[in-house]
Structures are given as C-alpha cells and as structure tokens.
Amino acid sequence: MIDALSDRPVYRQLADLLRAKIVGGEYGPGDALPSEIALMERHGLGRNTVRQAVALLREEGLVVTRQARGTFVRDALPVRRLSSDRYRRAPQRRGSGAGGTAEAIHREVPADPAVAEQLRVAAGTPLLERRALLLERGLPQQLSVSYVPLELLAGTPMADPARGPWPGGTVAALAGAGVRVTAVREVVRARMPRPEETRSLAVAVGTPMLAITRTMFAGERVVEAAVEIVVPGDRGELEYHVDVR
C-alpha cells in the first residue's frame, strides 16, 4: 500500500490512506484509529513517521489524539447556528438567542486608543468592559470582550460592575437603559486559537476559530464595541440575511 520510493513522502501516503478510510466511513465519528504501534508494524514505519501522519490529520481537523487513550475520528459536534436575527429587539425566538448559561465579568475601565476609535469616543472615556463566556451543555461556546460607554448606562442597574450576566443580551440591556439599537456591523475573520484560548474554550489544537468584531449603532452613534467574539469553528456557524437593494 505504501511505496517508500514514491515522490510523495511516506507520512503523507499514510495520512492519505487513513483519510480515505475516514471520509469513506470505514472509521466513523468517535472511532479509534489503530494505535501508533499497530500502524508502525503494519506498514513497516518508524514511530515518528506514523506520528507525523497522525499530526497531519489532526491539523486537518479530522482526528483528535488523547493521551494514553488513542487517536479518534473527530465527532461531528452539534453546531450552534448564530443568526443575525439574534439582534431583534422583539422577544427572541427559541434557539436563536443565548440558550445556555453565561459567565460575565464587568469592570470599569478607561478607553484605550483602539477601543476609543471603534466606539468613536475620546481615549480615556470611562467604559464598562464586559468579558463573557457562554456555555452550552457545559461546553464553552463563545468568548467575548465588549465595551459600552458608561455614560449610556448611568443610573441603571447595568452600570454596576458587580452585576452578573445580562439576560436577553446586549440589545435588551441597552434597551433597558433607553438606548435603541438600530443597526449592527459585524466583521468576521477566521484564525487559529491563541494558546490561552485553547484552554478557556477547551478546543483541540488545530481547531480554527471564527473571530467577530461587532459594532452596535443607535442611529449614527456607536453604543457598543465588541473587540472580539471568538467562536470555535467546530461548534458554531453564523447566519446572515442580506436584503439586496
């Protein structure tokens, strides 16, 4: 099966072999691949070569390795779809809003230059910083850091940093402060997780991330800036409706 004289590196040939069995369904989601020792013996390869092949599949997102347990075909996780409808002011439809539990840490901070530009305020303006982690069935779902000018929240319960999560999301929270969000701009990127994100979001190495920069507007005024909302690519997808004019 594997040709040591081929131009194609041996570890790639082994990866091709295993990949074909995975996409062909011979190894289904959750199944264990043969152990490294078994692959060494079956194909007459050194262990590092086998490990290189497995590493390639891991980078492609096809398998995960678990120490002392084995190498497993990646489970198709239930993907959560985040629709642009989630910004409706009207009551959230089931399944479209925040369905899980959230942990949030609020803090009062002065605007740093980058945030100030996004919010269109002067650097140093007092802001409420909100760091939130959304959990769904115990699995971290998204991580976000966002800012609201404190002035907008003055005199409302949201101005208190000790306050917990905002039920109903940011649009509802701002509505509670008399701020009517009229539009949202999102810029979506794909990037690899930073080392600390692999921990806090509990993602396997090699899992790409959706990174969203969100800006909320009330008319011409910017009322919220989410510097980055990070969603593991194997757990979420984003849905947008665009009206063509």
Partner DNA sequence: CAGTGGTCTAGACCACGCT
Partner DNA sequence: GCGTGGTCTAGACCACTGT
Quick one: residue 49, left, alpha or beta (phi over 0 = left, psi -120 to 50 = alpha)? alpha
| Listed ranges 17-25, 40-48, 100-108, 208-216: which one lies at the site for DNA (CB under 7 A) | 40-48
- 90 makes contact, choosing from a second copy, DNA, none, with CB < 5 to 8 Å by partner type, with a second copy
φ and ψ at 231, to 5 degrees? Answer: -125, 125
How many other C-beta atoms lie within 10 A of the C-beta of residue 61?
A: 14
Compare residues 125 and 228 and give the one whose CB is closer to a second copy: 228
Which of 16, 65, 175, 184: binder of DNA (CB under 7 A)?
Answer: 65
42 forms part of the interface with a second copy (CB under 8 A): no
Residue 229: both structure tokens together: 């909302």
φ and ψ at 65, to 5 degrees? Answer: -110, 140
Instruction: Measure the CA–CA gap between 29 and 166, rounded to whole angstroms.
Output: 37
* DSSP string of 32-87, one letter each residue: BPPPHHHHHHHHT--HHHHHHHHHHHHHTTSEEEETTTEEEEPP-PPPEEEEGGGG
4 forms part of the interface with a second copy (CB under 8 A): no
Binding-residue pattern over the window 166 to 195 for a second copy, x denoting contact by CB under 8 A: -----x---------xxxxxxxxxxxxxxx
Which of 25, 42, 44, 59: binder of a second copy (CB under 8 A)?
Answer: 59
207 forms part of the interface with DNA (CB under 7 A): no
193-207 burial, b at 16+ Cβ within 10 Å, e below that, comes to beeebbeebebbebb
Binding-residue pattern over the window 66 to 105 for DNA, x denoting contact by CB under 7 A: xxxxxx----------------------------------
Compare residues 15 and 132 and give the one whose CB is closer to a second copy: 15
97 forms part of the interface with a second copy (CB under 8 A): no
Query: Where in 3-32 is the site for DNA (CB under 7 A)?
Result: 4, 9-12
The CA angle 56-57-63, to the nearest 5 degrees, is 140
Residues 227 and 143: beta-carbon distance below 8 Å: no
| Listed ranges 37-45, 97-105, 115-123, 160-168: which one lies at the site for DNA (CB under 7 A) | 37-45
Q: How many CA atoms lie within 13 A of 22 on its CB side?
A: 26
Shortest Å, Cβ 97 to a second copy: 14
φ and ψ at 202, to 5 degrees? Answer: 55, 50
Residues 61 and 218: beta-carbon distance below 8 Å: no
Shortest Å, Cβ 32 to DNA: 7
Q: Which residues bind a second copy (CB under 8 A)?
A: 19, 48, 55, 59-61, 79, 81, 84, 87-90, 171, 181-195, 205-206, 208-210, 233, 237-245
Q: Which residues bind DNA (CB under 7 A)?
A: 4, 9-12, 33, 35-38, 44-49, 51-52, 54, 65-71
